[in-house]
Amino acid sequence: MAPGLRDLQLTRLAGGDEESGDLEDVRLLDSYEDTGSFNRIEEGMRTIQVRITGMTCAACSNSVESALNSVNGVLRASVALLQNRADVVFDPNLVKDEDVKNAIEDAGFEAEILPEPGTFGTKPHGALVGQFTIGGMTCAACVNSVEGILRNLPGVKRAVVALATSLGEVEYDPTVISKDDIVNAIEDAGFEGSLVQSSEQDKIILGVAGIYSEMDVQLLEGILIQLKGVRQFCFDKMTREVEVLFDPEVVSSRSLVDGIEAGSNGQFKLNVTSPYARMTSKDVEEASKMFRLFTSSLFLSIPVFLIRVVCPHIPRVYTLLLWRCGPFQMGDWLKWVLVSLVQFVIGKRFYIAAARALRNGSTNMDVLVALGTSASYFYSVYALLYGAVTGFWSPTYFETSAMLITFVLLGKYLECLAKGKTSDAIKKLVELAPATAVLLFTDKGGKSIGEREIDALLIQPGDTLKVLPGTKVPADGVVAWGASYVNESMVTGESVPVLKEVDSLVIGGTINLHGALHIKATKVGGDAVLSQIISLVETAQMSKAPIQKFADFVASIFVPTVVALALLTLLGWYIGGALGTYPEQWLPEKGNHFVFALMFGISVVVIACPCALGLATPTAVMVATGVGANNGVLIKGGDALERAQKIKYVIFDKTGTLTQGKATVTTAKVFTGMDRGEFLRLVASAEASSEHPLAKAIMEYARHFHFFDEPSATKDSPKHNKETNSGWLFDVLEFSALPGKGVQCFIDGKLLLVGNRKLITESGITIPTHVEDFLVELEESAKTGILVAYDCSLIGVLGVADPLKREAAVVVEGLKKMNVMPVMVTGDNWRTARAVAREVGIQDVMAEVMPAGKADVVRSFQKDGSVVAMVGDGINDSPALAASDVGMAIGAGTDIAIEAADYVLMRNNLEDVITAIDLSRKTFARIRLNYVFAMAYNVVAIPIAAGVFYPSLGIMLPPWAAGACMALSSVSVVCSSLLLRRYKKPRLTTILEITVE
């Protein structure tokens, strides 16, 4: 019997003693029914689904799962992080629905019991998740302001705002608050808001071609009013798009489009607008708008600068500027008019945003810009008016206001360009999506009777689609007819085409290379693989790393501190001048102490804008997630990036992770007089009813053997009345799979057992010494021995090997070079585990671990505070992935494993484990450098701007130069993050050369 978890010991190969006794093979011989055991409900048990709000990472889902499993009466619970859902099986005599809900809420999350399928046929009213564009945010203070306002709205359960993407994700109750209310709240806060997309499945945005007049608009509205299932619609005359809310139980999106086009007699041509495409167009529009504002401000500011600096050296021009026109000189009139246009027309956005921010009780960069430019502008106006009245003309600083606004707009324009580049990964993924599809119409016999080209966004589950050579597969589905090779590199990263035949799975967006295919669509819209990848990347880019919380906190108190510091600077220099602490020669020509002090105060306000601080983390996270996606590594958030850079242990599952997961039979030894062919027929007949991976390997071996060597009957072979449909297998009765042991069945009335030692010994069959010696020999050569008993007699042994992945040993060595300790955990027996560990170079081995115990192994390594990563691929690995600090799921693994992980390695290549860790380390090195860029300008330049070095060195920073430094700090941070795009992952040939950073 396998030892309990409390008896597990960390065993090192070096110096370890050989274990003796009855060693069990658990992992390889687990029944396939065991992996799907959650779907089986024991008699008297009840299962419910619970929607969970507030989970943000694998640690949250693990916390919820632990809380549920600790409730007395709960048999098992599984939490799906991406779906925000839990499946709970419990004894209704001990646990009520409310107890489950209370357990989740006690863990710190919100819970809602979902109606059971089939109850009254009503649609559950759960929370919706909407994405909103938020224009006008300039710094972390803006983000905090918007988040605070959104979270305080009634019905809003969660709100996350990302500065780098100008996006907000809001989870809200549609029965309490609408998306329009959320947009209005964003706009009332002083920002521009619009809905990008929502998790509701009853909204579609259609571009309409063929509308030329108001009569056409009325025709469209009339058609929509008459269509059944249409709840609400809104036509935008500017974009020529109509947004339609409809009841999906009454009308489908495709029927809706067909109904509009048919109702117009073909006048209207509709196309579905992708929300991602609309978001991209908004990014381009924002950048264009900023460029127009910047060029306009620059065009008006250059003459002001020339009048102040260049024209005094051109006598004729300077004489013209000194010509008095009314109370002022011509030069003063020109500067006043030009700067007024910059200040109040081009710079209007700063005043509006600053006013709304102050109204909401927050301060941001716009407040500082408005303060700095207003101080220099209104002082200059005052100086002109004062001179006209008294005749005492003080110097004006109109150029300071104009140049400051110009530099700020330049910084914002460059930020817009950088933001566009950081979202390249999403844009590339969106471009992979097919635009159209060929829909096939078939008769009852499945024969094609026609076809039609439709928008790919209108594909519905169950549609039969035709895929021509050289075109993209339009949706996730199953091949119904044909055979071809498909390039799946966009998902797996592998350039070798994959053969697709009938019943093969295909992924939307991959490219069909050769023959034509007919596929049946199974997953469309948000359920498709490509959509889920886009969603993962987008969610990761919106997530906040813990290090960013510090930046947000600093930003929230930074602006008031800067304003106070500026006032102290102004008062200090003004009072110092009044007291005569510095000579009059320091004052500007025709200036006074107040003007002198004011320039220092304005410079402090301008130089200290914290916009760069707010960009330091999110821009780096955005670039890193995009780079990771391009390299086959999907990162689920900034918190995962931050944890991954500190990894000390990487725990590998063996089967399917370190090994190829494709077991092959290497040995078939018969210990009786039975013919080898008949022996294989017996074993294959039993395994034909199993879906375990091992059964497939045995079937392939037996089929191959009989193809070349048809067995002859012997007196020892069992009699049989008829063969199965395969033509060479025996009839099997009373087949059953025994989890953790093997399979059993009856052939010709005699019991056949195929499994491990435990199955054989528990059945009362003795294992001879020579058979035991043969088993040990197999296990010490990294093979698993499968015992076969027939009619209460041990008749033979099969040796099964699962080849190691070719890169496994190199990856293990590379991790050691990075000071990361590799560990292997497996359900296999100790001898097999040790043999595999020796081959890959792993010293720390945990063997004979049942699936549920893998999470406890992870926790044992976390006890000293170490950051532990788990790499796995199967359902059995998902609890360990969730329990680990950093879960890494092999992309070819199960959906449940992928949901529980923080990283998804799409290529099924262990080299990506090193890529994930290396990218995380380089990203956070870049983030730290970004904070240096963000703070260095402030730390170094604020004392200069405040005039600390003016008395001793005569160095001062004019306000317009302070504005240039402020803009440069933001540009430096963004450009620093963009350098991550040059990241090259460590190649297999150079992994051993990796050094610790």
Reading phi first (left if > 0) and then psi (alpha if -120 to 50, else beta), residue 40 is in: beta
In this structure, are residues 213 and 240 in contact, taking their beta carbons and an 8 Å threshold?
Answer: no
Which residues are tagged catalytic? 653
Nearest Cα neighbor of 81 from 916, 898, 906, 905 is 898
Rounded CA gap, 941 and 74, in Å? 61
**What's the sign of the alpha-carbon dihedral 188, 193, 194, 197?**
negative
In this structure, are residues 95 and 84 in contact, taking their beta carbons and an 8 Å threshold?
Answer: no
CB neighbours of residue 442 within 10 Å: 14
Helix (H) or strand (E) holding 160: strand 156-162
Task: Spell out where 847-985 has E strands.
Answer: 867-872, 886-890, 903-905
Residue type, 563: V
Rounded CA gap, 160 and 175, in Å? 21
Residue 556 DSSP class? H
> CB within 8 A of 293, min separation 6: which ones?
346, 349, 409, 413
Tokens 């039979």 map to which residue? Answer: 665
The angle formed by the CA atoms of residues 728, 729 and 730, to the nearest 5 degrees, is 125
Task: Spell out where 616-766 has E strands.
Answer: 633-635, 647-653, 664-670, 733-738, 742-747, 750-755
Nearest Cα neighbor of 664 from 709, 690, 696 is 696
Rounded CA gap, 293 and 295, in Å? 6
Within a 13 Å sphere around the CA of 188, how many CA atoms are in the beta-carbon half? 11
Nearest Cα neighbor of 366 from 216, 189, 492 is 189
| Residues paired with residue 86 on neighbouring β-strands, in sequence order | 50, 79
Nearest Cα neighbor of 810 from 835, 840, 845 is 840
Nearest Cα neighbor of 466 from 482, 490, 446 is 482
Sheet with 867-872, side-by-side order of all strands: 11-12, 844-846, 821-825, 647-653, 867-872, 886-890, 903-905, 633-635
Q: What is the dihedral angle through the alpha carbons of 66, 72, 73, 78, rounded to the nearest 10 degrees?
A: 0
Tokens 């009853």 map to which residue? Answer: 202
Max distance between CA atoms of the chain, in angstroms, equals: 129
* CA 946 vs CA 324, 377, 939, 951, 965: distances in Å: 36, 20, 11, 11, 14
Provide Rg for the chain, Cα atoms: 35
Burial class (CB in 10 A: 0-12, 13-18, 19+), 728: middle
| Residues paired with residue 733 on neighbouring β-strands, in sequence order | 746
Give counts: helices (H), strands (E), the chain.
Answer: 32, 37
In this structure, are residues 704 and 664 in contact, taking their beta carbons and an 8 Å threshold?
Answer: no
Nearest Cα neighbor of 603 from 277, 330, 372 is 372
**What's the sign of the alpha-carbon dihedral 575, 578, 584, 587?**
positive
Nearest Cα neighbor of 25 from 836, 991, 616 is 836
